[in-house]
């Protein structure tokens, strides 16, 4: 049996602030209620729902402006990384979205959510790749990722 809940916050994969959603009892009991992210949807909460939806729509406008500004700033930028390779030029491991989050933080000093990076599978080859991003409110952006071979340390090191 699923519960009808009023969301007090945006929950990825469930719904947005102010929406009435159905979730499994365990998810509500173990996550939503303790984190104060939802309340049981009762008839007297209709006014609260209207206020939450209004707040969410205002926040959506602000989020979209921020995301569009970030997308403009990212246009034409390149992230660079060096990876270890074997004698034949094959990478040890791969570059995944968590690695990209770290590169954004180190090179561009931007905090970006891992879920914003659209990477169907980790990159396992050297070269230049265009990485798609889906920022807040669905704003699209792209950035170039350059993966180069790491220089082998010399014998004196």
Query: Looking at the domain that runs over 3-63, which CATH code has it been given?
Result: 3.40.5.10
Determine what percent of the chain is predicted with pLDDT higher than 90: 10
SS3 content of the chain, % helix, strand, coil (to 5): 35, 30, 35
One CATH from 3.10.430.100, 3.40.1410.10, 3.40.50.2300, 3.40.50.150 for 75-149: 3.10.430.100
Tens digit of each residue's pLDDT (9 = 90 or more) over 16-34: 888 888 999 999 999 999 9
How far is residue 115's CA from residue 31's CA, in Å, rounded to a whole number? 20
Q: Please state the pTM of the whole predicted model.
A: 0.64
pLDDT of 155 > 50? The answer is no
Q: Is pLDDT at 154 greater than 70 in this prediction?
A: no
Task: Give the pLDDT confidence of 50-86 residue by residue, as tens digits.
Answer: 787 888 888 888 888 988 888 888 888 888 998 888 8
Which among 147, 70, 61 has a CA at the least distance from the CA of 111? Answer: 70
pLDDT of residue 157: 46
Parts of the chain belonging to CATH 3.10.430.100: 75-149
Strand 140-149 relative to strand 78-83: parallel, antiparallel, unpaired?
Answer: parallel
Residue closest to 62 by CA, chosen among 134, 137, 143: 137
Please, where in the chain does CATH 3.40.5.10 lie?
3-63
């Amino acid at each position: 049996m699923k519960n009808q809940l009023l969301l007090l916050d945006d929950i990825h994969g469930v719904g947005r602030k102010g929406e009435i959603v159905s979730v499994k009892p365990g998810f509500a009991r173990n996550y939503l209620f303790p984190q104060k992210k939802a309340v049981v949807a009762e008839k007297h909460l209709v006014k609260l729902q209207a206020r939450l939806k209004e707040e969410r729509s205002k926040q959506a406008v602000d989020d979209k402006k921020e995301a569009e500004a970030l997308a403009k700033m990212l246009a034409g930028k390149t992230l660079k990384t060096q990876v270890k390779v074997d004698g034949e030029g094959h990478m040890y491991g791969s570059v995944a979205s968590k690695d990209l989050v770290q590169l954004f933080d180190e090179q561009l000093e931007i905090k970006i959510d891992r879920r914003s990076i659209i990477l169907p599978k980790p990159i396992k080859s050297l070269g230049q790749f265009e990485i798609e991003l889906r920022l807040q409110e669905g704003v699209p952006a792209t950035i170039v990722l350059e993966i180069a071979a790491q220089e082998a340390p010399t014998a004196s090191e």
